[in-house]
Structure 1
């Protein structure tokens, strides 16, 4: 059947820039999938998406005008229901045939076949292929309803009576199959061949499209529009890179900003702007965020990685003299940077320490009290961790950092730009003369904030980051705020992975279970009286806050909650390890022992992987599983120790002797945490273990012999499973 290329376009008012890329991709994919399901296009057809601020479009290759006819077999009804005693069609059968577009004339053609045990009537017919008009109409309706639109607009159609819903009002619909218009309609619009180019730079408006294949070229030459999102993005990148090179500066890479700017322009033109160098006294993170978030500008860095007083802007117009465009943007950025400088200057008039009492004004959670209350716990946890890691000096530094960690939330700069929390705390701490150990810890205690993020850079930051995350996890699990499905409003999954990464990658000699129990103990045992200040509260507010604080002091973290939290953390750890390339069997073998020192886990995994390639591994893993099953069935019957005088069979005596001979060597490897050597030593057990099971009956009638052999198996099982549960490797 003859095919031609298809073009479909929705011409709309300006679409949300942060969702344009996804909308464009989804529009193309959903429309193509529907047409493919209706057999109007081949699954290998080339699908090209277009998306600009004012349009969603798709070009699909080799679309048929009508799908091919196909033979179908339809089950009708049991023979005894469809035919009477004389073999004539009954009313139910005639009604069924009529619903399928047939009549009594097809009754002789019906087939009788068994459907299970029932003889049933079947009808073989030819289904006419769907026409492109009908198929595209259905595809458009399905696509419009399935687009990932978070919030729709309701607007009136031109007749003034009807209303429709879409992300933005749609003004035109184009549907071309080759050069022919496909007669479809959607959102109150009939398909045509006219579209619009750039609002100001188009040579022709409206643009009359010749055919489906001329779309991108006509929009470019006649409409001054780069229709492809990817091509427009590449052109902006090229211009940005070129402009930065001319200025001998470096562009800050930001894919999200680049996508957003690509979604704001149809005819990109990169220009260079400047601002007063005096603003560079403000922390560059503030200036960069101001330019990116508020103005969608691209900041530039000098050779030393410092912010330059120049920036790149992407204009949607190309005037002969761009000076006015540049000057207008410079005026706007000047006022924005002045705001940032004002916040910075005002914030430095108060020290971080003077802001600590204000944390008692900030409600953290209705069941966990105010932020000031919470930070009392974090201080105690941070001090505890510091004491365990490096003694009193680190403990006191961690305590000080914890006391100040959240005070920058009360500053004007962070109030304006929440993304700067921690960063501004570091700057203000340095301005207060607190030193880099404390300052960097305040910035780093939020880390890691996402997958692949850096970890805290010093010991104080490590203590504080762990304390902050442990307090959140233990507190939230203690009040039953546990993530379910996709809902995790307090980012507990991220905090759990943060704890895991810090313990493992920083190789900390801290046990996870102990940390959680100590944190829970601080919640349960520490009675904290808030320091109330009349300068911050009126009597009513003070009473409300005290009521919250009293509720928190009564919080009791139960063992059940900490158990669920441990399980939750191990689940996150297991998922993370699998993403790193470890097999499910390797991860299960190590984590099934619930190792408390997480810094050991990479070594254990490496040892398991090394063991698994040994020739003896398969046999030993299977034997280990067999031993485990035997011991499970006889729990409580095992003797505490092996009595060598009761070892009657040569095979059990040999196994016992090998275990005794290995004990010194494997204990040394275990002490040195040389887990690879430990598991490789176990290879010598293959022969005595196999011989034992070939020649020794464990469950004999003699109770003393039976219990002694079970004790021997217990010792074997313990020896084999100190690093990992090797039975998990058994196939």
Structure 2
């Protein structure tokens, strides 16, 4: 038989919504691991969360543990007994630690070495006897970004625990955590439910909560919220559409136990403020959904959707209260918008001298000046001198919005406000756009810069960050990357790919190192860091490790060329002619490996066999063509040209003995193969791919 339902509910003060998604995953992982470790089978494990409770539900849990017999390896037999066969301290200690008599130890052979071993048998226990310690361990095992103490200094949790419900069918699972003892009582909705609810059986737990206006299942809360918002649309005046921000939707799910959406509005005069400010204020402070007017070009409307945790009899009072709070927020934003525009964006640049970028790296002003120089160098290196004036101006203004009132209040609007204030000041539209696009992409799903001015500025800033953080010893360690260097490296590659910018990052890093007085050893560390990130990104695109490694060996520190070569290789690697190319390259290389000192110029007069003369002529014909394809970075054409060597190389090895007894003939043939190999190496070590293909 099985226990049909086991419920653990941890009732708390309101837990911050941002803590709960990870807590849900953590509780499920801990529970599955604990049940497995305790040899308990089950049908299903689910976790639920609201602001006031974390819940674990286990269905069809075994009524008893599975028994277990395990053979545990001890010390080597040679050290377990003395010369007279008496057990040593090593054997005695091992037996004691495993709870067996020393005379019960057996022998076990592992990899040719004999050890003593203990056969440990664990009888099954009733699940009801196992659960108290198991469930208490789950509560103890949960961790949060921030935890707090309350009555018991030895107990920590995200927020104070007010009750614990623990039921296995109709039986209470007794344990204590701090000064809270588990029982069969829970609490309903803070405003719309009973304060104390007795639950007779775990099977009725969800229903009892629902009867007291708690929708425990977060997915059902999502469905209810989305359905309720759809119904509200019927009350809209005009062709309006709710902007269903997925991040905001999830945050609201974990802010309420019973979502009740409502429509609110604000004065139209606030629409003169940039819409990102309005949306940020509504989202960050009030958790409101913005609404757009489709009949006005999808412009922001002076309407919002709020989500209440209270189904009040008079929702008008809730709406008016929320509108008052938002009005105060927007009034502040309108004030910041007006005050910031009283001075030009350019006049803020000098003020950056008083803003510390990083303790070891100086002021933001210093960073701007260094980034400006590097951006101009990148602009020139890319052959985009026509953009130099725009890049120079954009780089100079790049961080000027950091000292504005608006960005001080809403730090996430950096770049957005730079763009808006630059537009107000009459700066070139591409400069204004670059002040925003320098930050793109901000996440893996974000858009890329749409203009090269912002792309160049974004590249320069990210290279500056990577170089200077390595200089200061602030590079990532393990899972820690406080300065976002891995993200910066990823963005560099994404920008180069997205804007088709062929840039040698080795050259860029060395230029940045000159500007910032970085030593050569640090430069090598930086290049290794960037190469590793590039390799990982190529593999994330689904390319094989060998292909990615080959592409990097040829393209060097040019991410665009590495990607294009990857695409070309991936497109031809299964072609019959490419297999022939790899075979030819390997055969030539293998012969040369036997004569590593082969040197010299090919003497055509010594080529007396038709097959070697044919190879010489074909190599001579292809050399300029291969060079032109390489110069044009036409990887597909390059490989197709090299494939033309395959039949000639095959004929050469069929008809010509390379290691001729005549030293001059032998050296001449090796020189010819070395010249042939130089062509193959234009696309890297094809032998590595050949080896992989044969596995």
1:423 to 395, 416, 424: 416
1:569 aligns with 2:530: yes
Show CA shifts across 1:183-209 (max 9, x none).
33333433221111112211x441111
In the alignment, does 2:216 pair up with 1:256? no
User: What is the CA deviation profile of residues 423-474 of structure 1, one whole-angstrom value per residue up to 9, with x for unaligned ones?
Assistant: 1000000000113111001111122222242222223222322222232233
Equivalent residue in structure 2 for 1:608, among 554, 559, 569: 569
**More deviation in 66-75 or 459-468?**
66-75
Total equivalences in the alignment: 685
Aligned mates of 1:558, 1:610 — CA distance in 2: 41
CA distance in 2: counterparts of 1:605 and 1:684, whole angstroms: 21
Q: Tell me the TM-score normalized by structure 1.
A: 0.85
Q: Does 1:587 align with 2:578?
A: no
Query: 1:472–1:698: structure 2 CA closer, same or farther, 3 Å change rule?
Result: farther
The SS at the match of 1:50 is: strand
Q: In the TM superposition, what is the alpha-carbon distance from 1:210 to its structure 2 partner?
A: 2.6
Is this contact kept in 2: 1:504–1:601, CA < 8 A? no
Contact 1:611 1:680 in 2 (8 A): no
Asked if 1:127 corresponds to 2:88, the answer is no
Output the TM-score relative to the length of structure 2. 0.89
Query: What is the Cα-based RMSD across aligned positions, in Å?
Result: 3.3
Between the aligned partners of 2:83 and 2:563, the Cα distance in structure 1 is 76
What residue number does 1:685 align with?
Answer: 645
The more displaced of 642-651 and 259-268 is: 642-651
Deviation, 1:127, is 2.8
Contact 2:290 2:304 in 1 (8 A): yes
The DSSP-based 3-state class of the residue aligned with 1:721 is helix
* Among 713, 719, 731, the residue aligned to 2:673: 713
Q: Structure 2 unaligned segments of length 5 or more: list them.
A: none
SS in 1 for 2:644: helix
1:8 counterpart = 2:4? no
State whether structure 2 residue 145 is matched by structure 1 residue 150: yes
Q: Distance in 1 between matches of 2:49 and 2:302?
A: 33
Looking at structure 2, the residues matched to 256 and 342 of structure 1 have their Cα atoms a distance apart, in angstroms, of 28
The answer to whether the 8 Å contact 2:551/2:562 transfers is: yes
* Equivalent residues in 2 for 1:436-475, closer than 5 Å: 436-475=429-468
**Structure 1 residue 95: Cα displacement:** 10
Cα distance, 1:264 vs. partner? 1.4
- Matching of residue 195 in structure 1 with residue 186 in structure 2: yes
Residue in structure 2 matching 1:499, options 481, 492, 495: 492
1:319 aligns with 2:312: yes
Cα offsets for 1:7-61 (capped at 9, x unmatched): 111111211211112212322331232113212223xx11121211111111111
Give me the whole-angstrom Cα distance separating, in 2, the residues matched to 1:645 and 1:310.
88
2:209 is equivalent to residue 214 of structure 1:
no
Quote the Cα distance in structure 2 between the aligned partners of 1:94 and 1:569.
54
Give the whole-Å Cα distance in 2 for the aligned partners of 1:322 and 1:124: 69
> Does the residue aligned with 1:446 lie in a helix, a strand or coil?
coil
Partner of residue 269 from structure 1, selected from 260, 273, 279: 260
Give the distance between the partners of 2:165 and 2:524, measured in 1 at CA.
60
Task: Give the conservation status (yes or no) of the 8 Å contact 1:52–1:263.
Answer: yes
Change (3 A) 1:283 1:632: farther
Instruction: Please tell me whether the aligned partners of residues 187 and 195 of structure 2 are also in contact (alpha carbons under 8 angstroms).
Output: yes
Does the aligned pair in 2 maintain the 1:38–1:67 contact within 8 Å? yes
1:137-536 to structure 2, matched below 5 A, reads: 137-156=132-151, 163-202=154-193, 204-221=194-211, 223-244=212-233, 246-247=235-236, 248-303=239-294, 304-389=297-382, 392-521=385-514, 523=515
**Distance in structure 2 (CA, Å) of the matches to 1:577 and 1:334:** 49
Alpha carbons of 1:83 and 1:719: their partners in 2 closer, same or farther (altered >3 Å)?
A: closer
Mark the CA change 1:617 to 1:245 in structure 2 (over 3 Å): closer, same or farther: farther
SS at match of 2:8: strand
How far does the alpha carbon of each residue in 1:252-277 deviate from its partner, in whole angstroms, 9 at most, with x for none?
23222222221111111101111111
Contact 1:13 1:171 in 2 (8 A): yes
Kept in 1, the 8 Å contact 2:106–2:118? The answer is no
Looking at structure 2, the residues matched to 99 and 598 of structure 1 have their Cα atoms a distance apart, in angstroms, of 57
SS in 2 for 1:156: coil
User: Which secondary structure state, in structure 2, belongs to the residue aligned with residue 434 of structure 1?
Assistant: coil
Do 2:470 and 2:522's aligned partners in 1 also have CA atoms closer than 8 Å? yes
